[in-house]
Amino acid sequence: MSVGTESLVTVTATINGEPRTFTVPGHRTLLDALRSELGLTGTKSSCTEGECGACTVMLDGHAVNSCLVLAAEVDGHEVLTVEGVSVDGGTDLQQAFLEHGAVQCGFCIPGQVMSAEYLLSRNPDPSVQEIRDAMSGNLCRCASYNRIVEAVRQTATKRVSTRG
């Protein structure tokens, strides 16, 4: 990281597996840098104060609210966004969200997907209560909570059975 004039900060980080270098004002959040400097608009901005989970990404493998992280803090680190866990046509998890009708307006879904992937990376076969607890920081104004839980549960079951 190098700090220049006008409090600009040059950050080099691994974003979705690719090395990226970008320059931002020192006060820029990771959320805003992802959306504005890096064009990764899948990560959504809502409350901007750590309350809703819409901006969830993974930082060095841990789910974080990117609105609470400065872009400068990710220098030398790895960031994974919803674009980085997506595939053409949707992952099994994303397909499950669709099949269960969990995607209403869709605004919260990228954050829900990241929190669910984080949970499944830590706990491949979570109970319904464990899913509810792990995803309690992701708010859904469309109140798709039960459908989201069902989608995560189904994905876990399928992944576990596939891995045998």
Considering the rule CB under 6 A, would residue 51 count as an interface residue with ligand FES?
A: yes
Q: Which is it for the CA torsion 48, 53, 56, 60, positive or negative?
A: positive
Nearest distance in Å: CB 101, ligand FES = 10
- Amino acid identity for residue 47 in this structure: C
Q: Does 135 bind ligand FES (CB under 6 A)?
A: no
Under rule CB under 6 A, residue 41 binds ligand FES: no
CA distance 113 to 2: 33
Residue from 14, 86, 142, 154 binding ligand FES (CB under 6 A): 142
Q: What is the DSSP string of 115-159?
A: HHHHHHHH-SS--HHHHHHHTTT---TT--HHHHHHHHHHHHHHH
C-beta of residue 32 within 8 angstroms of C-beta of residue 45: yes
Cβ proximity to ligand FES: between 11 and 151 the closer is 151
- Tell me the CA distances in angstroms from 122 to 5, 115, 127, 130, 164, one per residue in order: 42, 11, 13, 11, 18
Binding to ligand FES by residue 46, rule CB under 6 A? yes
Query: Quick one: which of 27, 62, 122, 141 contacts ligand FES (CB under 6 A)?
Result: 141
107: contact with ligand FES by CB under 6 A: yes
Closest contact distance (angstroms) between CB of 108 and ligand FES is 3
Residues that bind ligand FES (CB under 6 A): 45-48, 50-55, 65, 67, 103-109, 140-142, 144
